[in-house]
Amino acid sequence: MRTSLTDRFDLAVPVVGAPMAGAAGGRLAAAISTSGALGMVGVGGGASPSWITEQGRAAAESGLAWGIGLLAWVLEAKPGQLDAVVDLAPPLVSVSYGSYARHVPILQQAGSAVATQVGTVDEARAAEQAGVDFIVARGGEGGGHGRNDVATLLLLQAVLDQVNVPVLAAGGIASPRGLAAVLAAGAAGAWVGTPFLACPEATVTEAARDLLVAASETDTSYGRVFDVGLRQAWPPEYGGRALRNQFFDQWVGRERELAEDEDAHAELIAAVERHDFEKAVIYAGQAVGLVRGLCAASDVVADFARASELLRHAASIPEDA
Ligand SMILES: Cc1cc2nc3c(=O)[nH]c(=O)nc-3n(C[C@H](O)[C@H](O)[C@H](O)COP(=O)(O)O)c2cc1C
Protein backbone atom coordinates (compact mmCIF):
# COMPACT_ATOMS: atom_id res chain seq x y z
CA MET A 1 0.00 0.00 0.00
CA ARG A 2 2.41 2.70 -1.20
CA THR A 3 1.01 6.22 -1.43
CA SER A 4 2.45 9.73 -1.29
CA LEU A 5 1.85 9.57 2.49
CA THR A 6 3.80 6.34 3.03
CA ASP A 7 6.58 7.51 0.70
CA ARG A 8 6.96 10.86 2.44
CA PHE A 9 7.16 9.39 5.95
CA ASP A 10 8.41 5.86 5.23
CA LEU A 11 5.28 4.19 6.64
CA ALA A 12 4.17 0.58 6.24
CA VAL A 13 0.45 1.45 6.62
CA PRO A 14 -1.17 4.59 5.12
CA VAL A 15 -2.79 5.68 8.38
CA VAL A 16 -2.25 8.76 10.54
CA GLY A 17 -3.30 8.45 14.19
CA ALA A 18 -5.25 11.71 14.47
CA PRO A 19 -4.28 14.33 17.04
CA MET A 20 -6.82 14.08 19.88
CA ALA A 21 -6.49 16.58 22.70
CA GLY A 22 -7.05 14.85 26.02
CA ALA A 23 -6.65 11.36 24.52
CA ALA A 24 -3.58 11.22 22.26
CA GLY A 25 -0.34 12.04 24.10
CA GLY A 26 3.21 10.96 23.34
CA ARG A 27 2.62 7.37 24.43
CA LEU A 28 -0.23 6.70 21.97
CA ALA A 29 1.59 8.57 19.18
CA ALA A 30 4.76 6.50 19.73
CA ALA A 31 2.78 3.23 19.83
CA ILE A 32 1.11 4.06 16.51
CA SER A 33 4.39 5.10 14.87
CA THR A 34 6.18 1.97 16.11
CA SER A 35 3.40 -0.11 14.53
CA GLY A 36 4.06 1.25 11.03
CA ALA A 37 1.59 4.17 10.84
CA LEU A 38 2.16 7.79 11.95
CA GLY A 39 1.03 8.81 15.44
CA MET A 40 0.19 12.38 16.43
CA VAL A 41 -0.03 14.22 19.75
CA GLY A 42 -3.20 16.32 20.19
CA VAL A 43 -2.63 19.76 21.74
CA GLY A 44 -5.68 21.28 23.42
CA GLY A 45 -6.40 24.80 24.67
CA GLY A 46 -4.94 24.13 28.11
CA ALA A 47 -1.62 22.61 27.01
CA SER A 48 1.54 24.41 28.11
CA PRO A 49 4.66 24.64 25.93
CA SER A 50 6.52 22.40 28.41
CA TRP A 51 3.79 19.71 28.14
CA ILE A 52 4.11 19.87 24.35
CA THR A 53 7.89 19.45 24.55
CA GLU A 54 7.61 16.51 26.96
CA GLN A 55 4.93 14.68 24.92
CA GLY A 56 6.72 15.45 21.65
CA ARG A 57 9.94 13.94 22.97
CA ALA A 58 8.04 10.80 24.06
CA ALA A 59 6.46 10.53 20.60
CA ALA A 60 9.82 11.02 18.90
CA GLU A 61 11.53 8.28 20.93
CA SER A 62 10.76 5.63 18.33
CA GLY A 63 12.98 7.46 15.83
CA LEU A 64 10.13 7.07 13.31
CA ALA A 65 7.80 9.66 11.79
CA TRP A 66 5.36 11.31 14.21
CA GLY A 67 3.35 14.50 14.47
CA ILE A 68 1.60 17.15 16.53
CA GLY A 69 -1.85 18.67 15.97
CA LEU A 70 -2.51 22.28 16.98
CA LEU A 71 -5.79 24.20 17.20
CA ALA A 72 -5.42 27.41 15.16
CA TRP A 73 -7.91 29.44 17.22
CA VAL A 74 -5.97 28.68 20.43
CA LEU A 75 -2.69 29.98 18.95
CA GLU A 76 -4.07 33.54 18.88
CA ALA A 77 -3.88 33.66 22.67
CA LYS A 78 -1.14 31.06 23.15
CA PRO A 79 1.63 31.63 20.58
CA GLY A 80 4.02 29.74 22.90
CA GLN A 81 2.36 26.49 21.72
CA LEU A 82 3.54 27.20 18.17
CA ASP A 83 7.06 28.10 19.35
CA ALA A 84 7.33 24.78 21.21
CA VAL A 85 6.27 22.88 18.08
CA VAL A 86 8.68 24.82 15.84
CA ASP A 87 11.50 23.91 18.25
CA LEU A 88 10.57 20.21 18.08
CA ALA A 89 10.10 20.31 14.27
CA PRO A 90 8.05 17.08 14.07
CA PRO A 91 7.90 15.43 10.65
CA LEU A 92 4.15 16.32 10.45
CA VAL A 93 2.20 19.19 12.04
CA SER A 94 -1.49 19.88 11.62
CA VAL A 95 -3.05 23.27 12.31
CA SER A 96 -6.81 23.26 12.05
CA TYR A 97 -9.91 25.24 12.97
CA GLY A 98 -9.24 28.97 12.71
CA SER A 99 -6.74 31.22 10.90
CA TYR A 100 -3.84 28.88 10.23
CA ALA A 101 -2.43 30.11 6.88
CA ARG A 102 0.28 32.37 8.34
CA HIS A 103 1.69 29.48 10.40
CA VAL A 104 2.21 27.21 7.36
CA PRO A 105 5.50 28.72 6.05
CA ILE A 106 6.93 29.00 9.58
CA LEU A 107 6.36 25.30 10.22
CA GLN A 108 7.62 24.30 6.78
CA GLN A 109 10.79 26.37 7.25
CA ALA A 110 11.36 24.48 10.51
CA GLY A 111 11.28 21.26 8.47
CA SER A 112 7.75 19.98 9.15
CA ALA A 113 5.19 18.92 6.57
CA VAL A 114 1.90 20.72 7.28
CA ALA A 115 -1.65 19.39 7.15
CA THR A 116 -5.00 21.00 7.89
CA GLN A 117 -8.46 19.52 8.33
CA VAL A 118 -11.21 20.78 6.01
CA GLY A 119 -14.95 20.18 6.07
CA THR A 120 -16.03 21.75 2.75
CA VAL A 121 -14.65 22.05 -0.77
CA ASP A 122 -14.13 25.81 -0.23
CA GLU A 123 -11.98 25.09 2.81
CA ALA A 124 -9.97 22.59 0.73
CA ARG A 125 -9.33 25.19 -1.98
CA ALA A 126 -8.20 27.69 0.68
CA ALA A 127 -5.86 25.05 2.18
CA GLU A 128 -4.25 24.46 -1.22
CA GLN A 129 -3.79 28.23 -1.59
CA ALA A 130 -2.19 28.35 1.86
CA GLY A 131 0.44 25.86 0.62
CA VAL A 132 -0.23 22.91 2.95
CA ASP A 133 1.45 19.58 2.14
CA PHE A 134 -1.60 17.42 2.97
CA ILE A 135 -5.32 18.20 3.08
CA VAL A 136 -7.44 16.18 5.49
CA ALA A 137 -11.00 15.86 4.16
CA ARG A 138 -12.91 15.40 7.41
CA GLY A 139 -16.55 14.39 7.23
CA GLY A 140 -19.24 15.17 9.79
CA GLU A 141 -19.30 11.63 11.18
CA GLY A 142 -15.82 12.18 12.68
CA GLY A 143 -15.20 12.46 16.41
CA GLY A 144 -14.30 15.65 18.22
CA HIS A 145 -14.56 19.06 16.59
CA GLY A 146 -15.08 20.00 12.97
CA ARG A 147 -17.88 20.84 10.57
CA ASN A 148 -20.98 18.71 10.30
CA ASP A 149 -21.91 19.90 6.79
CA VAL A 150 -20.77 17.00 4.59
CA ALA A 151 -20.13 13.29 5.20
CA THR A 152 -16.67 11.80 4.61
CA LEU A 153 -17.18 9.88 1.36
CA LEU A 154 -18.90 12.72 -0.47
CA LEU A 155 -16.40 15.29 0.83
CA LEU A 156 -13.47 13.09 -0.21
CA GLN A 157 -14.80 12.68 -3.76
CA ALA A 158 -15.45 16.40 -4.15
CA VAL A 159 -12.11 17.48 -2.66
CA LEU A 160 -10.10 14.97 -4.75
CA ASP A 161 -11.70 16.46 -7.86
CA GLN A 162 -10.74 20.02 -6.87
CA VAL A 163 -7.19 20.01 -5.49
CA ASN A 164 -3.77 18.72 -6.50
CA VAL A 165 -2.40 18.36 -2.96
CA PRO A 166 -2.43 14.80 -1.48
CA VAL A 167 -5.68 14.22 0.43
CA LEU A 168 -6.23 12.09 3.55
CA ALA A 169 -9.75 10.99 4.49
CA ALA A 170 -11.05 11.43 8.05
CA GLY A 171 -14.26 10.59 9.82
CA GLY A 172 -15.70 7.14 10.33
CA ILE A 173 -12.77 5.12 8.98
CA ALA A 174 -12.65 2.28 11.45
CA SER A 175 -11.66 -0.92 9.70
CA PRO A 176 -9.67 -2.26 6.73
CA ARG A 177 -12.87 -1.92 4.66
CA GLY A 178 -12.98 1.83 5.28
CA LEU A 179 -9.28 2.26 4.55
CA ALA A 180 -9.52 0.22 1.33
CA ALA A 181 -12.51 2.32 0.23
CA VAL A 182 -10.78 5.69 0.62
CA LEU A 183 -7.52 4.45 -0.93
CA ALA A 184 -9.45 3.07 -3.92
CA ALA A 185 -11.12 6.48 -4.27
CA GLY A 186 -7.72 8.19 -4.49
CA ALA A 187 -6.90 9.25 -0.93
CA ALA A 188 -3.24 9.05 0.13
CA GLY A 189 -4.33 7.58 3.47
CA ALA A 190 -6.75 7.77 6.38
CA TRP A 191 -6.66 10.09 9.40
CA VAL A 192 -8.06 7.97 12.20
CA GLY A 193 -9.13 9.11 15.67
CA THR A 194 -11.99 7.27 17.38
CA PRO A 195 -10.71 3.70 16.71
CA PHE A 196 -7.63 4.47 18.85
CA LEU A 197 -9.61 5.90 21.80
CA ALA A 198 -10.08 2.61 23.64
CA CYS A 199 -6.40 1.63 23.34
CA PRO A 200 -4.54 1.28 26.64
CA GLU A 201 -2.00 3.84 25.34
CA ALA A 202 -4.69 6.56 25.10
CA THR A 203 -5.15 8.88 28.08
CA VAL A 204 -8.79 7.95 28.62
CA THR A 205 -10.21 6.93 32.01
CA GLU A 206 -11.39 3.36 32.49
CA ALA A 207 -15.01 4.54 32.92
CA ALA A 208 -14.88 6.48 29.65
CA ARG A 209 -13.29 3.50 27.88
CA ASP A 210 -16.13 1.22 29.06
CA LEU A 211 -18.71 3.67 27.69
CA LEU A 212 -16.84 3.89 24.36
CA VAL A 213 -16.74 0.11 24.02
CA ALA A 214 -20.46 -0.21 24.87
CA ALA A 215 -21.57 2.56 22.46
CA SER A 216 -23.06 1.90 19.02
CA GLU A 217 -22.81 4.00 15.87
CA THR A 218 -26.06 5.82 16.74
CA ASP A 219 -24.93 6.93 20.21
CA THR A 220 -23.14 10.16 19.24
CA SER A 221 -24.53 13.63 18.73
CA TYR A 222 -23.10 16.83 17.25
CA GLY A 223 -23.35 20.36 18.57
CA ARG A 224 -21.98 23.19 20.70
CA VAL A 225 -23.54 22.30 24.05
CA PHE A 226 -20.28 21.25 25.73
CA ASP A 227 -18.25 24.17 24.33
CA VAL A 228 -20.86 26.64 25.55
CA GLY A 229 -21.22 24.85 28.89
CA LEU A 230 -17.45 24.79 29.45
CA ARG A 231 -17.07 28.39 28.12
CA GLN A 232 -14.59 27.26 25.45
CA ALA A 233 -14.17 29.81 22.66
CA TRP A 234 -14.36 27.43 19.68
CA PRO A 235 -15.35 29.17 16.42
CA PRO A 236 -19.10 28.40 16.18
CA GLU A 237 -18.84 26.64 12.81
CA TYR A 238 -16.80 23.90 14.47
CA GLY A 239 -19.08 22.00 16.82
CA GLY A 240 -18.12 18.70 18.40
CA ARG A 241 -19.26 15.09 17.98
CA ALA A 242 -19.41 13.21 21.28
CA LEU A 243 -21.26 10.40 23.06
CA ARG A 244 -24.78 11.71 23.66
CA ASN A 245 -25.55 12.08 27.37
CA GLN A 246 -28.02 13.64 29.79
CA PHE A 247 -26.33 17.10 29.78
CA PHE A 248 -26.42 17.28 25.98
CA ASP A 249 -30.08 16.27 25.81
CA GLN A 250 -30.97 18.80 28.51
CA TRP A 251 -29.33 21.76 26.75
CA VAL A 252 -29.38 21.13 23.01
CA GLY A 253 -31.35 23.94 21.34
CA ARG A 254 -30.94 26.11 24.48
CA GLU A 255 -27.27 27.07 24.03
CA ARG A 256 -27.94 30.82 24.50
CA GLU A 257 -29.59 30.16 27.82
CA LEU A 258 -26.71 27.84 28.79
CA ALA A 259 -24.19 30.60 28.00
CA GLU A 260 -25.79 32.71 30.75
CA ASP A 261 -26.39 29.94 33.28
CA GLU A 262 -23.52 29.95 35.78
CA ASP A 263 -24.99 27.07 37.83
CA ALA A 264 -25.06 24.81 34.78
CA HIS A 265 -21.46 25.83 33.98
CA ALA A 266 -20.35 24.99 37.54
CA GLU A 267 -22.28 21.70 37.42
CA LEU A 268 -20.50 20.71 34.19
CA ILE A 269 -17.04 21.62 35.54
CA ALA A 270 -17.73 19.57 38.68
CA ALA A 271 -18.89 16.62 36.55
CA VAL A 272 -15.66 16.78 34.50
CA GLU A 273 -13.62 16.71 37.73
CA ARG A 274 -15.41 13.62 39.11
CA HIS A 275 -15.64 11.86 35.70
CA ASP A 276 -19.43 11.84 35.75
CA PHE A 277 -20.13 11.09 32.09
CA GLU A 278 -23.89 11.61 32.36
CA LYS A 279 -22.80 15.25 32.19
CA ALA A 280 -19.12 15.40 31.24
CA VAL A 281 -18.24 15.03 27.58
CA ILE A 282 -16.53 12.10 25.85
CA TYR A 283 -15.67 13.14 22.30
CA ALA A 284 -16.07 10.30 19.79
CA GLY A 285 -17.29 9.79 16.23
CA GLN A 286 -19.76 7.35 14.70
CA ALA A 287 -16.84 4.93 14.32
CA VAL A 288 -17.33 4.23 18.03
CA GLY A 289 -19.81 1.57 16.90
CA LEU A 290 -16.89 -0.50 15.59
CA VAL A 291 -14.77 -0.11 18.75
CA ARG A 292 -15.18 -3.53 20.35
CA GLY A 293 -12.83 -3.64 23.31
CA LEU A 294 -9.47 -2.87 24.80
CA CYS A 295 -7.12 -3.25 21.86
CA ALA A 296 -3.46 -2.20 21.70
CA ALA A 297 -2.62 0.50 19.14
CA SER A 298 -0.44 -2.07 17.36
CA ASP A 299 -3.51 -4.33 16.90
CA VAL A 300 -5.56 -1.44 15.49
CA VAL A 301 -2.79 -0.61 12.99
CA ALA A 302 -2.31 -4.32 12.08
CA ASP A 303 -6.05 -4.58 11.40
CA PHE A 304 -5.93 -1.55 9.06
CA ALA A 305 -3.02 -3.20 7.21
CA ARG A 306 -5.49 -5.87 6.04
CA ALA A 307 -6.87 -3.27 3.61
CA SER A 308 -4.25 -4.51 1.15
CA GLU A 309 -6.06 -7.90 0.88
CA LEU A 310 -9.34 -6.12 0.10
CA LEU A 311 -7.67 -3.93 -2.52
CA ARG A 312 -6.06 -6.99 -4.14
CA HIS A 313 -9.44 -8.71 -4.17
CA ALA A 314 -11.11 -5.65 -5.71
CA ALA A 315 -8.36 -5.43 -8.36
CA SER A 316 -8.93 -9.08 -9.29
CA ILE A 317 -12.65 -8.61 -10.06
CA PRO A 318 -12.98 -9.11 -13.84
CA GLU A 319 -14.27 -6.02 -15.64
CA ASP A 320 -17.25 -7.90 -17.05
CA ALA A 321 -18.19 -9.52 -13.70
C1 LIG B 1 -11.36 12.70 21.54
C2 LIG B 1 -11.03 13.49 20.31
C3 LIG B 1 -10.23 14.62 20.42
C4 LIG B 1 -9.86 15.33 19.27
N5 LIG B 1 -9.01 16.40 19.39
C6 LIG B 1 -8.53 17.01 18.28
C7 LIG B 1 -7.50 17.98 18.39
O8 LIG B 1 -7.02 18.31 19.47
N9 LIG B 1 -7.04 18.56 17.25
C10 LIG B 1 -7.53 18.22 16.01
O11 LIG B 1 -7.07 18.78 15.02
N12 LIG B 1 -8.50 17.29 15.88
C13 LIG B 1 -9.00 16.67 16.99
N14 LIG B 1 -9.94 15.68 16.86
C15 LIG B 1 -10.43 15.31 15.51
C16 LIG B 1 -9.52 14.26 14.89
O17 LIG B 1 -8.30 14.86 14.49
C18 LIG B 1 -10.15 13.61 13.61
O19 LIG B 1 -10.64 14.60 12.76
C20 LIG B 1 -11.29 12.65 13.92
O21 LIG B 1 -11.02 11.85 15.06
C22 LIG B 1 -11.55 11.76 12.71
O23 LIG B 1 -12.74 11.05 12.81
P24 LIG B 1 -12.88 9.64 13.59
O25 LIG B 1 -12.92 9.99 15.03
O26 LIG B 1 -14.16 9.10 13.08
O27 LIG B 1 -11.69 8.78 13.23
C28 LIG B 1 -10.34 14.94 17.99
C29 LIG B 1 -11.15 13.80 17.89
C30 LIG B 1 -11.49 13.07 19.03
C31 LIG B 1 -12.32 11.83 18.86
Please enumerate in sequence order all residues whose Cβ is within 8 A of that of 221, keeping only pairs 6 or more positions apart, or say none: 241, 242, 244, 248, 252
**Structure confidence by residue, pLDDT tens digits, 189-234:** 999 999 999 999 999 999 999 999 999 999 999 999 999 999 999 9
180 vs 14, 217, 305, 315, CA distance in Å?
10, 20, 9, 11
Please enumerate in sequence order all residues whose Cβ is within 8 A of that of 6, keeping only pairs 6 or more positions apart, or say none: 12, 13, 14, 189
Question: Where in the chain are the domains?
Answer: 4-199+293-316, 206-273
Q: Is the CB of 38 under 6 A from ligand 1?
A: no
321, pLDDT greater than 70: no
Q: How far is the CA of 241 from the centre of ligand 1 (A)?
A: 9
Q: Whose CA is nearest to atom 1 of ligand 1?
A: 283
**Structure confidence by residue, pLDDT tens digits, 31-88:** 999 999 999 999 999 999 999 999 999 999 989 999 999 999 999 999 999 999 999 9
Percent of the chain with pLDDT over 70: 100
Edge to edge, what strands does the sheet with 144-146 contain?
144-146, 239-243, 220-223
Nearest to 219, CA basis, from 243, 186, 194, 183? 243
Under the banding of pLDDT at 50, 70 and 90, the label for residue 3 is very high
CATH H superfamily, domain 4-199+293-316: Aldolase class I (3.20.20.70)
Q: Whose CA is nearest to atom 4 of ligand 1?
A: 20
- Work out which ligand 1 atom sits closest to the CA atom of 97: 11
Nearest to 136, CA basis, from 87, 100, 110? 100
Work out the number of other CB atoms within 10 angstroms of the CB of residue 306.
15
- Work out which ligand 1 atom sits closest to the CA atom of 195: 27
Please enumerate in sequence order all residues whose Cβ is within 8 A of that of 102, keeping only pairs 6 or more positions apart, or say none: none
Q: How far is the CA of 132 from the centre of ligand 1 (A)?
A: 19
294, pLDDT greater than 80: no
Q: Is the CB of 41 under 6 A from ligand 1?
A: no
**Structure confidence by residue, pLDDT tens digits, 224-254:** 999 999 999 999 999 999 999 999 999 999 9
Q: Is the CB of 23 under 6 A from ligand 1?
A: yes
Q: Whose CA is nearest to atom 30 of ligand 1?
A: 144
**Mean pLDDT score, 272-278:** 95
**Mean pLDDT score, 294-321:** 91
